[in-house]
Amino acid sequence: MEAVTFSESGGVRYLHFGSELIQGAMRMRDPDEIYLEYNQQMMAWLLFLETKPGMRVAQLGLGTGALTKFQYRHCPAVKTTVVELNPAVIVSARSMFFTPDDDRRLETLQVDAKQFVKSAKHRCQFDAIQVDLYDAICDGPSASSLDFYKGCFDILKAPGVMTVNLFSRHPSFKVNLKNICEAFSNRVLLFPESHDCNVVAIAFKGPKLEVEWSEVKKRAKLIAEKTDLPTNKWVPGLSGENARQENKLSI
């Protein structure tokens, strides 16, 4: 297991796995804010799914608990299942980054995400999945095989949405994207690269989605008003970055 270390600068606390590479961050004066841009984009499933009682989200990889805290605060109808293999990350998320303890809306499982998605008991159980799995080397996601992404597809309901954090300037990017596209029948959108070389992919399961970008933009504005997420760049970014999606979303 990687060693978990911390640093602070300019009112921001950072998580590291025994190196200078940043694994997550939290602004001390606003612990429930999602501080990093790519982390914010991991919440893009909200553009396509209405939160409702009984909805379940699987979060593969805990980090600083930024997504966990955000969903706990802003999506009270949603039950989040966190999958994290490293017990030190679970402890640090609660003690250093103020992630809430488990209750009826939050469960934390110390298991391997690759095993989790292959479990028959999880098939078709989740409305959304957020995948952010990195190790100390940070040379690409630590789970990236076609088998893994097929497992992610299998545990999603239909309709369902998966968001994945990819590292754009590394050979792993093309491998992951190829495997996601194969597992999800090419129903994949990409955000533009963020300043820290991360690219978030969005993959869809279920009926074909056809909607005007103007309607998605209204949804983005509503999310911003309710949660303070800076969603104003999401629709221009998605419509401009993805081929044949310029005029309307059809996927």
Q: Which residues pair with 165 in a beta bridge?
A: 200
Q: Which two tokens stand for residue 65?
A: 């608990």
Q: Which two tokens stand for residue 91?
A: 């402890």
Rounded to whole angstroms, how far apart are CA atoms 214 and 236? 10
pLDDT value of position 137: 55
Rounded to whole angstroms, how far apart are CA atoms 22 and 14? 6
The amino acid that residue 40 corresponds to is Q
Q: pLDDT tens digits, the chain, 251 residues: what are they?
A: 778 888 999 999 998 887 777 888 899 999 999 999 999 999 999 999 999 999 999 999 999 999 999 999 999 999 999 999 999 999 999 999 999 999 999 999 999 999 999 999 999 999 999 999 976 455 567 789 999 999 999 999 999 999 999 988 888 899 999 999 999 999 999 999 997 789 999 999 999 999 999 999 999 999 999 999 999 999 999 999 998 898 899 99
From its phi and psi, is residue 65 left (phi > 0), alpha (psi between -120 and 50) or beta? left
Domains contained in the chain, CATH given? 36-239 (3.40.50.150)
* pTM (2 d.p.): 0.94
Q: Which two tokens stand for residue 53?
A: 């009682």
